[in-house]
Structure 1
Amino acid sequence: MPDDEAQLTPPEPLLQVIANLSRFHREHEEYYSQAPLQQAGELQARSRALKSLADRWSVVEAGEQTSPIAFAGTEDLNAPGLVAESGILFMEGEGEPAELQRLKRQVALLADESQQGGDWLAQAMEQAWGMAGTLAAYPALADLLGERHRIIANDWQSAGIQALVARLLRRALDLLAQVDFSPTALRADLRGKRKAPAYLYSASELLDRAADLMAESAILVHENERRWRVFRARVRELQSE
């Protein structure tokens, strides 16, 4: 390659780095364009469970313990169809259902994962932005700089979304912490001001918004697929010259 043409093309070591990124980061993003959709669906299922309980507790009259058997299901507190769907079962003489405790642990875990993922991605895009700027020195890649910066912008936006998702999930847990889910406390609430349904509705709305944002994050990452493919094809072309 003549010297003047060599000045237009990134050196081979840099091309190798770009080729590596365009391969493995594309594959990495293929996963993250799908995984959040599954997580969003699971989050919506948890939100529906909370809404079902809130719907039930908004209208049902508080009953009394109807069975001397501690493991008997409560006739008043269990929402129709919810036990089979979610496993959440309120029992006489018991406290908060184990399945509801597990639901909250799963939401807390998802919040931690979203926060960690968002922090890592934001840091990675900070570095990627600087590296992408150096590519402006090579006219052979000039027409792809928009593609590369759009990839970074989408991922950076996704990082911010993940951080917001974590906030929403943790606030939903804060609201659920205001409710005593033991049958005795719930029946007392139903005989009084019925605060529990309001907290559950609000918590479920935050879970719903978090699920919507997770889907938006997946869409942003999915948009990068063609851009990575185009970028990788150009690098292969330059390496073969």
Structure 2
Amino acid sequence: MAADEAQLSPPESLLRLIDNLARFHRQHEEYYSQAPLQQAGGLQERSRVLKALADRWSVVGVREQASAVASAGAEDLNAPGLVAESGVLFMEGEGEPAELQRMKREVGLLADDVEQTGAWLANAMEQAWDLAGSLAAYPALADLLGERHRIIANDWQSAALQSLIARLLRRALDLLARVDFAPAALRADLRGARKVPAYLYSASELLDRAADLMLESATLVHDNEHRWRIFRARVRELESA
């Protein structure tokens, strides 16, 4: 490489580092452009459970315990078709269905996961921003700095969404914590103010919004795919020069 060309390009050690980052971070983002789609689908399924119960409990007439036999299905509390779809079954003489308890645990774990991922990604983008700024010293990469900074901006925005998603999920759990899902308690509410359906509708709307933001996060990360390929192609070209 001629002396003037060497001044235009980053040193070989920096090119190797950039190539490594571009290769592995692109692979990492391939995962995070898909995983949120599955997570969003899971949240929408849980939201439908809450809506189905709220729909049922908004209109159903309240009955006394239909059977003295423990574990008999509660005719008034179970939403049509929901037991087979979700496994959520209200039984006489029982408390909160195990499936609802599991659903809330899973939502809480997801909130922890996305919060940790968002915090890690935000910190990583702080470092990436500084490194990308240092590349401005090399004219051979000047036309790609827009692409590199767009990647960072997309990831940074995704990190912020992860933090908001965690907040929405935890607030949905706060609302559900105000509901006693034991059949006796539900029937008492249905005979009175019927506040439980309102809590369920609101919690489901928060889950829906969290799912929407997960899709936005996946879209942002997916937008990086083409940019990574362009950026890495130039780095490999300079490495081979």
State the TM bucket, normalised to the shorter chain. over 0.9
Q: Which residue of 1 aligns with 2:23?
A: 23
Q: Give the Cα separation in 1 of the matches to 2:166 and 2:175.
A: 14
Alignment of 1:158-169 (within 5 A): 158-169=158-169
Q: Which residue of 2 aligns with 1:197?
A: 197
Residue deviations 1:176-220 (CA, integer Å, cap 9, x gap): 001000000000000000000000000000000000000000000
Matched, 1:68 2:78: no
Q: Which amino acid aligns with 2:147?
A: E
Q: Give the Cα separation in 1 of the matches to 2:88 and 2:181.
A: 11
Q: Which amino acid aligns with 2:10?
A: P
Q: Which residue of 1 aligns with 2:229?
A: 229
Q: Give the Cα separation in 2 of the matches to 1:48 and 1:24.
A: 37
Q: Give the Cα separation in 2 of the matches to 1:96 and 1:165.
A: 26
Residue 118 of structure 1: how far off its partner (Å): 0.4
Residue 66 of structure 1: how far off its partner (Å): 1.1
Q: Give the Cα separation in 2 of the matches to 1:62 and 1:140.
A: 74
Residue 2 of structure 1: how far off its partner (Å): 1.7
Matched, 1:215 2:235: no
Q: Which amino acid aligns with 2:2?
A: P
Structure 2 unmatched runs, 5+: none
Residue 134 of structure 1: how far off its partner (Å): 0.1
Q: Which amino acid aligns with 2:51?
A: K
Which runs of at least 4 in structure 1 moved beyond 4 Å after TM superposition? none
Residue 115 of structure 1: how far off its partner (Å): 0.5
Q: Give the Cα separation in 2 of the matches to 1:167 and 1:22.
A: 31
TM-score, reference length from structure 1: 0.99
Q: Give the Cα separation in 1 of the matches to 2:70 and 2:167.
A: 38
Q: Give the Cα separation in 2 of the matches to 1:6 and 1:210.
A: 49
Instruction: Report the secondary structure of 2:43's partner residue.
Output: helix
Q: Which amino acid aligns with 1:200?
A: L
Q: Which amino acid aligns with 1:54?
A: A
Residue 169 of structure 1: how far off its partner (Å): 0.2
Instruction: Report the secondary structure of 1:92's partner residue.
Output: coil
Matched, 1:32 2:41: no
Q: Which residue of 2 aligns with 1:102?
A: 102
Q: Give the Cα separation in 2 of the matches to 1:239 and 1:130.
A: 22
Q: Give the Cα separation in 2 of the matches to 1:28 and 1:98.
A: 35
Q: Give the Cα separation in 1 of the matches to 2:132 and 2:161.
A: 22
Residue 62 of structure 1: how far off its partner (Å): 1.2
Q: Give the Cα separation in 1 of the matches to 2:63 and 2:145.
A: 67
Q: Give the Cα separation in 1 of the matches to 2:234 and 2:5.
A: 16
Q: Give the Cα separation in 2 of the matches to 1:73 and 1:41.
A: 28
Q: Which residue of 1 aligns with 2:186?
A: 186
Residue deviations 1:121-154 (CA, integer Å, cap 9, x gap): 0000001000000000000000000000000000
Residue 4 of structure 1: how far off its partner (Å): 1.5
Alignment of 1:140-151 (within 5 A): 140-151=140-151
Residue deviations 1:201-241 (CA, integer Å, cap 9, x gap): 00000000000000000000000000000011001100111
Q: Which residue of 2 aligns with 1:9?
A: 9
